[in-house]
Chains A and B, each alone.
Chain A
Amino acid sequence: MSHDMSENLPEAHGASHGTDVVSHDDPFADPGLPAHEPRRTDIDERAAKRAERQVSLLFVVSMLATIGFIASYASIDADKLVYIFPLGHVSALNFALGTTLGVALFCIGAGAVHWARTLMSDHELPAERHPIEADDEVRNDVIEQFKTGAAESGFGRRKMIRNTLIGSMALVPLSGVVLLRDLGPLPEKKLLHTGWNEAKPSQPIRLVNMNTNTAMKPEDIIQGSLTFAKPEGLEESAEDFQQQIAKDALMLIRIAPEDIKDDKSRAKGFEGVLAYSKICTHVGCPISLYEQQTHHALCPCHQSTFDLADGARVIFGPAGHPLPQLKITTDEEGFLVATGDFDEPVGPSYWERPR
């Protein structure tokens, strides 16, 4: 079949396909499609039979693997762990299901490809391409038809219809836009304040340890480690806990007062205990790494580094401004309290953020 189609090809240079004889007028000319080279399975019936058996064997293995899949599903407990070298302890069910399913699928594919490569015809055939572009006759005919249609509609002539149609089509999507309004509230001043805003000098709010859920005294904050805190009254069971903690989370550190470089920062603290917002001013990750020697805090997401001894100044990384600091003191019982909000919004900056 391939041979009678080869006359569609460009002029074949010399009938001697695949030989090293170079035609002398144009050595680079296209010699045409090379002759088909038969595969072993094309000429040796035994090889073909063998290939047939191989393909069938692959399909049989696939069937067995599917049976294995069903058997594994029915017999292996979902929480059973097995040790498989070199994977370690893995879920037995997941391993059995995945490998049997994988083998069942792979063998179908391998069988089909092996079949195509060994037993199906591998004669290369040329097919003609046709230009994508229409010829001029078709092109002019279509343009003529379009002009006729346009003229019959009167779209260009009746300007009032045209303009009002454009107007109505332009307006109608607005309904869809308006409908999106209730997706969420307006920003207003929501980002400006945190839960600490409830604290007043007359009604201070205690700082509660995030892990123990108890109020803290200054001596509970030890030098060299970060202590995480939240406002008293914010319980994990609260409906809006996630939303609140996303803004209220604090990290407390103790630095010897003489090591605090920033005077304003020292004044906001209490005897060397400083309370910073835990939310990074870059894009809002919680900061959790602390270097006790240098008093540097590092955000693990994008590595913004803040010098907590110097008003949480940004000393490295992509954050644009220092971490806000919460002014703290103690109440009459000696517990750490806040008497007001941060004096700037916490978290990543935004257009309306005062600066």
Chain B
Amino acid sequence: MSSASGTRNSASKPASTRAKPANKAEATADWVDGRLGIYSLAKANLRKIFPDHWSFMLGEICLYSFIIIILTGVYLTLFFKPSMAETVYHGSYLPLNGIKMSEAYASTVNISFEVRGGLLIRQIHHWAALVFVAAMFVHMMRVFFTGAFRKPREINWLFGFLLLCLGFFDGFFGYSLPDDLLSGTGIRFMEGAILAVPIVGTYIQMFLFGGEFPGTDIIPRFFTIHVLLIPGIMLGLLVAHLILVFYHKHTQWAGPGKTEKNVVGMPLMPVYMAKAGGFFFLVFGIIAVMSAVATINPVWAYGPYRPDQVSTDAQPDWYMGFAEGLIRFMPGWEVSVWGGHTLNLGVFIPLMIFPLVLVAIAVWPFIESWVTGDKREHHILDRPRNAPVRTAFGAAWIALYLVLLVGGGNDLFATHLHMSINTITYAVRVGFFVVPVLTFIVTKRWCLGLQRRDKDKVLHGRESGIIKRLPHGEFIEVHTPLAQKDLHTLTAHEQPKPLELPAETDENGVARKAGVIAKTRVKLSEGFYGEGNQIAKPTTEEYHEITSGHGHH
């Protein structure tokens, strides 16, 4: 339909009242808007403001590595055969020639040697998975240590947490698929862990494996879970996560012009489309080069899985290392219960601590908001030092995680550092309890020290490095007073007061008892914000007193 006839008819027909589009692109946009309402959507988002800080890129790395995993994963499904049917290998990788193996293993070897570029895509897929989980971890730490999880973002914190957990498991299912000697050993470990579940363990094992270990069902079943079930859930969570990020708008650091009521930054179009869009290519490019130069999971070197064979240095991918640590340092407690039943605590307790370690960090936002009684929205980030208990808890959690990671690699530490494996394991047993506590104490004191330094800087200025000799011979270092923007930034944080128990008697003089929960809450609040647990911010009076005429020193 020509535009001329369209104009003529518009008078007679009750058509759109919209002005004539200036060009083809506008006409197309108008057409789409008439069906999808894109203008209203774009009005709020096209020039949406994003604040600029390097730590906000961490979430982007997660998103982009997830996209890379999906792209490369789809490619791999074109060649991978998720089958445990037996086959004899006759391919170009000669060391395996004539060896009996499963179709899954044979097709993985073929992807690596027969399909041109197949090895590259396999390695990108695996590297991207490692980067994905690592980025989720660091992103979560960023959100944790800056208090970005506070209202209104608690639900999004949980979405992110679920993505992390699902990422763990999908990684495990993924690296189990090639059915090589290493990954088969991982599945065997999982089978042993399932058998340790009281009462229903053997049933779960039989139903999961379709019979006794290893059977012929586990790889096809893992395949469906790995490529469909978990990624599907993750995609849904990811979209919800991003919608909430847009809806809540970004958090921002305190600074001049930044308040709880605004967000300062640059618009999505063009700056962040170029920066964030470009960043996808940077992440993809770097992972591609990693996959070109660094071999990952060379399954051809491990050989096909046999339940009676194993290699030394059997290690899971790093994110499962803490679970491995739990299982390795646990004493082999096995008890008899209910007349002849076996309770394998040596495996079952680690199996229960594993989710507890994760849940401990997931529920922190709710514990913190309960202790502080804070019901307000927070969009200005905390510097970690200004929330010493939170920072110390996070550091203790990381310390626990690292102790378990050391436990999971005890054989590597033993062989590479020439230490006794028994000593390392005993040290991990002690460290599991001691290291997080020590880390908590040290981190908290460290935070308080940094708070004192900030206070000092605000009141006395910054050390200039210039030494001045006074007329009477004394040497002093000249301190430069801070600019107002810096003074504001360093004093912008809030310092809550600890909660107090209600008076023991009410207004009529009737005794009133606080419950255990209320008392705990007050105790915790005292621990968070009480005397000695935060350094009082400098006041205007202190500042004026020091800066009025006495020089800065």
Question: Are the CB atoms of A351 and B201 closer together than 8 Å?
Answer: yes
Task: Indicate whether A49 reaches chain B with its CB closer than 8 angstroms.
Answer: no
Q: Which A residue's beta carbon lies closest to that of B328?
A: A302
Chain A interface: which of B234-242, B275-283, B528-536?
B275-283
Question: Are the CB atoms of B341 and A351 closer together than 8 Å?
Answer: yes
Task: Indicate whether A246 reaches chain B with its CB closer than 8 angstroms.
Answer: yes
A184-204: which have CB < 8 Å to B? 184-187, 190-191
By a CB distance below 8 angstroms, the chain A residues around B210 are 183-184
Task: Indicate whether A290 reaches chain B with its CB closer than 8 angstroms.
Answer: no
Chain B interface: which of A108-116, A166-174, A256-264, A332-340?
A108-116
Task: Indicate whether B395 reaches chain A with its CB closer than 8 angstroms.
Answer: no
Task: Indicate whether A51 reaches chain B with its CB closer than 8 angstroms.
Answer: no
Option from A79, A125, A180, A300 in Cβ contact (under 8 Å) with B92: A79
By a CB distance below 8 angstroms, the chain B residues around A124 are 52, 257, 264-266
Cα of A285 to Cα of B343 in the assembled complex, Å: 20
Cα of A97 to Cα of B115 in the assembled complex, Å: 13
By a CB distance below 8 angstroms, the chain B residues around A78 are 92, 113-116
By a CB distance below 8 angstroms, the chain B residues around A183 are 207-208, 210
Question: Are the CB atoms of A104 and B307 closer together than 8 Å?
Answer: no
Question: Are the CB atoms of A288 and B310 closer together than 8 Å?
Answer: yes
Chain B interface: which of A138-146, A147-155, A214-222, A342-350?
A342-350
Given A112-B274, A243-B212, A320-B344, A282:B192 Cβ within 8 A: yes
Chain B interface: which of A6-14, A156-164, A323-331?
A6-14
Given A107-B285, A283-B193, A300-B411, A318:B328 Cβ within 8 A: yes
Question: Are the CB atoms of A132 and B293 closer together than 8 Å?
Answer: no
Shortest C-beta distance, A209 to chain B (Å), equals 13
By a CB distance below 8 angstroms, the chain A residues around B248 are 132
Question: Are the CB atoms of A286 and B307 closer together than 8 Å?
Answer: yes
By a CB distance below 8 angstroms, the chain A residues around B39 are none
By a CB distance below 8 angstroms, the chain B residues around A120 are 270-271, 274
Question: Are the CB atoms of A110 and B211 closer together than 8 Å?
Answer: no
Given A98-B288, A126-B264, A302-B327, A350:B342 Cβ within 8 A: yes
Shortest C-beta distance, B376 to chain A (Å), equals 10
Cα of A344 to Cα of B92 in the assembled complex, Å: 45
Task: Indicate whether A103 reaches chain B with its CB closer than 8 angstroms.
Answer: yes
Task: Indicate whether A267 reaches chain B with its CB closer than 8 angstroms.
Answer: no
Cα of A24 to Cα of B306 in the assembled complex, Å: 78
Question: Are the CB atoms of B206 and A132 closer together than 8 Å?
Answer: no
Question: Are the CB atoms of B189 and A94 closer together than 8 Å?
Answer: no
Cα of A18 to Cα of B257 in the assembled complex, Å: 12
Cα of A120 to Cα of B270 in the assembled complex, Å: 7
Given A20-B483, A303-B425, A284:B189 Cβ within 8 A: yes
By a CB distance below 8 angstroms, the chain B residues around A29 are 484, 488
Q: Please encode chain B, from 186 to 207, with 1 for each CB lying within 8 Å of some chain A CB and 0 for all others.
A: 0011011101111111110111
Q: Which B residue's beta carbon lies closest to that of A103?
A: B285
Question: Are the CB atoms of A282 and B346 closer together than 8 Å?
Answer: yes
A233-287: which have CB < 8 Å to B? 236-237, 239, 242-243, 245-247, 249, 278-279, 282-286
By a CB distance below 8 angstroms, the chain A residues around B212 are 190-191, 243, 246-247
By a CB distance below 8 angstroms, the chain A residues around B340 are 354-355
Question: Are the CB atoms of B119 and A283 closer together than 8 Å?
Answer: no
Question: Are the CB atoms of B543 and A301 closer together than 8 Å?
Answer: no
Question: Are the CB atoms of B481 and A22 closer together than 8 Å?
Answer: yes
By a CB distance below 8 angstroms, the chain A residues around B540 are 26-28
Shortest C-beta distance, A189 to chain B (Å), equals 10
Q: Which B residue's beta carbon lies closest to that of A23?
A: B484
Cα of A354 to Cα of B115 in the assembled complex, Å: 51
Task: Indicate whether A312 reaches chain B with its CB closer than 8 angstroms.
Answer: no
Task: Indicate whether B525 reaches chain A with its CB closer than 8 angstroms.
Answer: no
By a CB distance below 8 angstroms, the chain A residues around B274 are 112-113, 115-116, 120
By a CB distance below 8 angstroms, the chain A residues around B334 are 320-321, 349, 355
Cα of A127 to Cα of B256 in the assembled complex, Å: 15
Option from A91, A184, A349 in Cβ contact (under 8 Å) with B208: A184
Q: Please encode chain A, from 118 to 131, with 1 for each CB lying within 8 Å of some chain B CB and 0 for all others.
A: 00111111111101
Question: Are the CB atoms of B327 and A116 closer together than 8 Å?
Answer: no
Shortest C-beta distance, B181 to chain A (Å), equals 10
By a CB distance below 8 angstroms, the chain A residues around B198 are 351
Task: Indicate whether A68 reaches chain B with its CB closer than 8 angstroms.
Answer: no
By a CB distance below 8 angstroms, the chain B residues around A101 are 120, 285, 288, 292
Task: Indicate whether B23 reaches chain A with its CB closer than 8 angstroms.
Answer: no
Shortest C-beta distance, B422 to chain A (Å), equals 6
Q: From DSSP, what is the main secondary structure of chain A's interface residues?
A: loop
Question: Are the CB atoms of B206 and A113 closer together than 8 Å?
Answer: no
Option from B188, B195, B270, B271 in Cβ contact (under 8 Å) with A350: B195
Shortest C-beta distance, A159 to chain B (Å), equals 34
Question: Are the CB atoms of A9 and B481 closer together than 8 Å?
Answer: no
B156-199: which have CB < 8 Å to A? 185, 188-189, 191-193, 195-199
Q: Which A residue's beta carbon lies closest to that of B543?
A: A27
Question: Are the CB atoms of A127 and B262 closer together than 8 Å?
Answer: yes
Question: Are the CB atoms of B206 and A184 closer together than 8 Å?
Answer: yes
By a CB distance below 8 angstroms, the chain B residues around A291 are none
Task: Indicate whether A353 reaches chain B with its CB closer than 8 angstroms.
Answer: yes
Question: Are the CB atoms of B484 and A284 closer together than 8 Å?
Answer: no
Question: Are the CB atoms of B347 and A284 closer together than 8 Å?
Answer: no
Question: Are the CB atoms of B310 and A245 closer together than 8 Å?
Answer: no
Cα of A125 to Cα of B309 in the assembled complex, Å: 63
Cα of A354 to Cα of B247 in the assembled complex, Å: 58
Question: Are the CB atoms of B266 and A123 closer together than 8 Å?
Answer: yes
By a CB distance below 8 angstroms, the chain B residues around A110 are 278, 281-282
Task: Indicate whether A42 reaches chain B with its CB closer than 8 angstroms.
Answer: no
By a CB distance below 8 angstroms, the chain A residues around B485 are 18, 31, 34
Cα of A158 to Cα of B538 in the assembled complex, Å: 64
Option from A230, A246, A300, A321 in Cβ contact (under 8 Å) with B312: A300
Shortest C-beta distance, A115 to chain B (Å), equals 6
By a CB distance below 8 angstroms, the chain B residues around A242 are 214, 305-307
Cα of A187 to Cα of B344 in the assembled complex, Å: 18
By a CB distance below 8 angstroms, the chain A residues around B34 are none
By a CB distance below 8 angstroms, the chain A residues around B386 are none
Given A131-B377, A132-B377, A98:B306 Cβ within 8 A: no
Task: Indicate whether B2 reaches chain A with its CB closer than 8 angstroms.
Answer: no
Option from B196, B211, B293, B343 in Cβ contact (under 8 Å) with A348: B196
Most buried by B among A210, A286, A318: A318
Option from B195, B213, B265, B289 in Cβ contact (under 8 Å) with A349: B195
By a CB distance below 8 angstroms, the chain B residues around A303 are 328, 410-411, 421, 425
Given contacts A102-B287, A128-B262, 4 further A-B pairs with CB under 8 A are A20-B484, A22-B481, A28-B543, A351-B198
Q: What residues of chain A have their CB less than 8 Å away from a CB belonging to chain B?
A: 6, 8-10, 13-14, 18-24, 26-34, 73, 78-79, 87, 90-91, 93-99, 101-113, 115-117, 120-129, 131-132, 180, 183-187, 190-191, 210, 228, 230, 236-237, 239, 242-243, 245-247, 249, 278-279, 282-286, 288-289, 300-304, 314, 316-321, 347-355
Minimum-distance CB pairs A-B, first 8: A98-B292, A283-B192, A112-B278, A106-B285, A320-B334, A109-B281, A33-B257, A102-B289
What would be 13 A-B contacts, judged by CB atoms less than 8 Å apart?
Answer: A20-B484, A78-B92, A94-B291, A97-B116, A97-B120, A99-B289, A116-B270, A129-B261, A129-B262, A131-B377, A350-B201, A355-B334, A355-B340
Q: What residues of chain B have their CB less than 8 Å away from a CB belonging to chain A?
A: 48-49, 52, 86, 92, 100, 113-117, 119-120, 123-124, 152, 185, 188-189, 191-193, 195-203, 205-215, 217, 247-249, 256-267, 270-272, 274-275, 277-289, 291-293, 295, 305-314, 327-334, 336, 340-347, 377, 379, 410-411, 421-422, 425, 458, 481, 483-485, 487-488, 491-492, 540, 543-544, 547
